[in-house]
Copies of this chain bind each other. A is one copy, B any other.
Amino acid sequence: MIQKYPSLLLENAVSEFSKLPGIGRKTALRLVLHLLRQDKESVLAFSNALSILRQEVKYCRECHNICDDEVCGICSDVTRDKQIICVVENVKEVLAIENTSQFRGVYHVLGGIISPMDGIAPSDLEIDSLVERVKSGTVQEVILALSTTMEGDTTNFYIYRKLAPTGVKISVISRGVSVGDELEYADEITLGRSILNRVAFDDTFKI
């Protein structure tokens, strides 16, 4: 049931909030009432942070990650290995991989994955720019680090087909039982994959 709010301003703010994913009208009203209890400056700061972000955000011209300059901190870092490109869906995955401190190469942010259901075609993603980047020279290896979903697999395969002619080495992050997980609770597909993709015992100490 749509509630009749006593104020059009309130109504507007609640509908805008409830457009966000995972936020219904009840939560939206709770958030808006919270904002109303804050002082004007904080609410203006919130509102400005959003509009400025959308208007002034830049994307790195190398890896297409969100950044404040022409080139992001990772791409402009001379200690990073430009020969290895890790292909990810979004800035969230860049953050997650950076947190592991296990990767010293550079990234390529697709900006999404191929998903006909959501109307996302290969042309909406930074796939052509990836191919250009690989063709332009120094890249030795492309690591595909997308989600293990049907969309992720489709995107992996599409990129593989596009990159195969260049002769670059293409790898995919390994799938297997999570560290700390008990075998009996792992799902069959993951467990099966972890057996197929088993590694030499010595290799487990390399990282």
A residues lining the B interface (CB < 8 Å):
1, 3-10, 12-13, 16-17, 19-23, 27, 29-36, 38, 40, 42-58, 60, 65-68, 72-74, 90-92, 94-95, 98-99
Contacts and interface: CB of A to CB of B under 8 A. Distances in A.
Contacts of A66: 5-7, 10, 36
Contacts of A16: 45-46, 49-50
Q: Which 5 A-B pairs have the closest CB atoms?
A: A43-B54, A47-B51, A13-B53, A16-B46, A47-B47
Copies of this chain, whole number: 2
Contacts of A4: 95, 98
Contacts of A10: 53, 57, 66, 91
A52 B43 CA distance: 10
B36 A57 contact: yes
A156 to B, nearest CB: 21
A103 to B, nearest CB: 15
A54 B12 CA distance: 12
Contacts of A72: 6
Contacts of A21: 30-31, 34
